[in-house]
Amino acid sequence: MRIWSKLFKDNHMLRDYQYIDTSDDTRTHKVFAALEKTCREFDLPVPIWLDSNVSDFKRHSKTRFRQDSFVEEISFDYLEIGVIEED
């Protein structure tokens, strides 16, 4: 599974990161691991999965984490995470 994470501010991509997981773990665990690894790479707190994030991810295999998903103040508009290749 390949997951692409992107950090945006003012409609410009600031950073991106691609996570590759070849383990036999579940899809959910791979997505959570990708989000945690991305946040470590970007030096960000891990966002909270709101119902809207879960719904978007189920429907489109991607979601955007905005300020309401973070406890701390963020200096960007949103963090987008999406699956670009399934096992």
Looking at residue 19, its pLDDT comes to 97
Model confidence pLDDT, tens digit, residues 14-50: 999 999 999 999 999 999 999 999 999 999 999 999 9
Cα torsion 16, 8, 70, 63: sign = negative
Model confidence pLDDT, tens digit, residues 48-64: 999 999 999 999 999 99
Return all residues near 29 (Cβ < 8 A) that are at least 6 apart: none
Q: How far from 67 is each of 30, 51, 78, CA to CA, in Å?
A: 23, 15, 7
Distance CA 31, CA 52 (A): 16
